[in-house]
Structures are given as structure tokens and as C-alpha cells.
Amino acid sequence: MKTKLLSLLLVAAACNSVEETDPTGPDGSEVALDIEERVAGLEGTSDAHDTRIADLEADIVAIPPSAASHCFWTWDSCGTGPGAECVLACDDRDDSFGDTNDYWAMGGGCDLSAGAQMLENRPGVSDGAFPEEVSEKSFDAWVCQTAAGTVQSVFVQCCR
């Protein structure tokens, strides 16, 4: 629908840009295209646009429903003061198939007391030891830390 509307707008723009003056230049050569040639050129542009949009849509990587169904949010209250890390780990959980799986932190956040200054709001590792080879699955926790004030709560979205 958007593409067809864009095509109609382009055709209207082409029609409005047609000059009613002599279509030949000072040397007698033709300088303006007739309206059919302009419309044909715009239709080709619209088709190329449609193809490019289809190519871009085909390249979009979506999280399959089966992967999204293996995510959950969890939170915990902290009460940690300035400089102390509040760490919330993704626990191993039994999924619907009865298997225990390792979960990793896909996202997270921190809830601070009024006036607190954020120092850290990031994924982390629950045991504090970063692995030599890092991947997104290396991070199984969310870390919050303030420079001033208190971390009240930490939230993490865990996926497998």
C-alpha cells in the first residue's frame, strides 16, 4: 500500500514538473521527455524500490518464537550503597521439556534511589571471573552500581 502511494506521488510530481514551454533547446535538440517517458521511468524506479525493500525485509533476522519462549524477566531488591555492585544472576531453570539449561543476560536495568548517580548498568558474570573467550552467552548476570545513592532493585531478562 505504501509503495503504491509512493508511486502515485511520484507520478503526480512528474506531471507537475512538465514544462509547457518549447521542448527543444536553443540548438533544436529535444530537452524534455514527454509525459509517457517520465511515467515509464518512474514506474521502473518504483519497481526497483519494491525489489530493494523486499531484499531488506528478507535480510531481517527475527528471534524465532521458540527462542523467545525461553526467556524470562526476574528482579531482586538490593539496597547497595555507593561503590558496591548489585549483581543479579540468571539462574538455571527447568524449562517446559524438563531440561535444565544455562541462561544468559539479554537485557537488564537498575532502579535507583532519588538523586543517585549511576556508575554501572551492564551485563556481567555471576562468579565475577570473565572468561578468556567472550560471547554474549558469557554474561549470565546484570550488574548495577552507583557513585552516590542506593541501588534499590536490579532487573534482568534471561534467555537460553
Whether 33 shows a pLDDT value over 70: the answer reads no
Between the alpha carbon of residue 151 and those of residues 51, 55, 108, 134, 155, the distances in Å are: 50, 45, 14, 27, 11
* pLDDT at site 50: 75
Is the pTM above the cut of 0.75?
A: no
Whether 18 shows a pLDDT value over 50: the answer reads no
> Among the listed ranges 26-35, 79-88, 100-109, which one has the minimum average pLDDT value?
26-35
Beta bridge partners of 157: 73, 107
User: What is the C-alpha separation between 83 and 143, in angstroms, rounded?
Assistant: 12
